[in-house]
Amino acid sequence: MINLEILLYQTLLGVTLTLLFIESRFSRKKTCLLVYGATVLLMAADVWLYRILGRERFGELYTLTNHLPIFLVFFYISRNHGWQLIFQFLSGVLFCVMIQHGAALAYVLSGWKMWVLGLTYAILSAAMILFIVHFLRPLYLQVLHHLRHGWWLMCLNIAIYYVIILYLIPSYVGEPNWGTILQPAISLLMMGFYVLILALFSSVEREMENRHSAEMFSVQLSALQRQVESTRDAENALRIERHDLRHRLNTISNLVRSGNRETLLAYIGAAQEQLEEARPEIWCADPVLNAVFSFYFAQAKRFNIEVNAELAFPKILPADAASLSTVFANALENAIHACRALPEAQRKITCRCINRPRLMLEVSNPCASPVILGKDGFPITDGKDSDRGLGLRSIRSFCKKHDALLTCAYQEGWFSLRVAF
């Protein structure tokens, strides 16, 4: 059943599945040119070697002639190396072999009909690609740099499967021999192992999200505490000013009688400055939102980031203040993080909020490097910067819950995040 055409298809499919896991350090276009250019050269070499060596001998050398060169290509383009890269590569091989086993079983059960083989290959390949793109890749990239142990053990299990399928059971699924039953049975066991890996990844992701939520709650609590302390300090300062008001009025009265106009004006100006210093900065009427703005704007000031804020909130908010404050907290935290990578002269954050015709929020900041937006319109985050990805995911979850529109844009070096209710 295994012939040259199927081997070539499996080579192309395995490369594609592995590429879906890889975080390339090049652009998408250059990555595809490098990977598929090398794949075409390998496939041309496969045709030549297959005709010279024959199927059996070629199968024995397949790892050396195909897997090793492709692995080196992925090593060159990948941002990640070590056990993580080996896991990515072996996962691509694993899924490719599982597709071959599924298609071959359908071929056998249909009475060796080629159209069934081709159709099953197409269906399983499309399903696997969609599964990786929409579920496994996002999950994997989230946990890539947070799961620090155990990669070698996962790689060892998949590598044992790799050796058993390719070398210890020297037969092909789809041919009338015992390998047609034994190899798919081992693949089913391996599928169960991979389900455990997915459960581990999901557990790590939930832990990350819970930790991020706890950090956001801690920030809100800290902001409220600082706001309370600031208000208390302002009240104490005003209480002192009221106590000193009688003395100030007496001083002003004496200066008026003496006709010392310049000294009088200077004295009044100094008194006004003291009152301004005692007044707490109020960004909005809601205490929770005001506390979050005060906290992050003060944090931006500590990092020498210029903040331009124009905030106008309606009396009735479209969502509870605690949830809405989390949106601003995540957006401002990401903006501050991005600005810290810039020279101090370029650090700037713009925060706008309008309440007519409906509430709209916008947080903008310059970026040290271009922001690449995915097909869904949201930034493709570096795995090493997964905290930013968690913040954006939290905002997306909020918008979905409250039926708000979230959009992201990158233009002329500035990244903007907008939420419209």
Helix, strand, coil share of the chain (percent; to 5) = 70, 10, 20
Q: Which residue has the higher pLDDT, 331 or 274?
A: 331
CA distances from 412 to 252, 340, 343, 370, 415 (A): 55, 18, 17, 9, 9
Lowest mean pLDDT across 135-149, 151-165, 238-252, 330-344: 238-252
Tokens of 83: 């056990």
Tokens of 225: 């505490």
Taking the C-alpha atoms of residue 328 and residue 342, their distance in angstroms, rounded to an integer, is: 21
Residue 399 pLDDT level (bands cut at 50, 70, 90) = confident
Asked whether the whole model's pTM tops 0.85, one would answer no
Which tens digits make up the pLDDT trace of 301-310?
Answer: 889 999 998 8
* pLDDT (average), residues 37-55: 86
pLDDT at residue 44 tops 70 = yes
Q: Which residue has the higher pLDDT, 72 or 27?
A: 72
Which tens digits make up the pLDDT trace of 273-302?
Answer: 665 555 556 778 888 788 788 888 888 888
Show the beta-strand stretches assigned E in 220-276.
none
Residue 328 pLDDT level (bands cut at 50, 70, 90) = confident
pLDDT at residue 126 tops 90 = yes
pLDDT at residue 386 tops 60 = no
Q: Where are the domains of the chain?
A: 4-212, 283-421
CATH classification of 283-421, choosing from 3.30.565.10, 3.20.20.80, 2.40.50.140, 3.40.50.300? 3.30.565.10
User: Bridge partners of 397?
Assistant: none
DSSP string, 77-142: HBS--THHHHHHHHHHHHHHHHHHHHHHHHHHHTTS-HHHHHHHHHHHHHHHHHHIIIIIHHHHHH
Taking the C-alpha atoms of residue 295 and residue 273, their distance in angstroms, rounded to an integer, is: 23
Q: What is the pLDDT of residue 55?
A: 73
Q: Which residue has the higher pLDDT, 66 or 76?
A: 76
Q: Which residue has the higher pLDDT, 315 or 266?
A: 315
Q: What is the pLDDT of residue 196?
A: 85
Taking the C-alpha atoms of residue 290 and residue 321, their distance in angstroms, rounded to an integer, is: 10
pLDDT at residue 348 tops 90 = yes
Q: What is the pLDDT of residue 1?
A: 46
Which tens digits make up the pLDDT trace of 133-176?
Answer: 888 888 887 777 677 778 888 888 888 888 888 777 755 555 55
Residue 174: left (phi > 0), alpha (psi -120 to 50), or beta? Answer: left
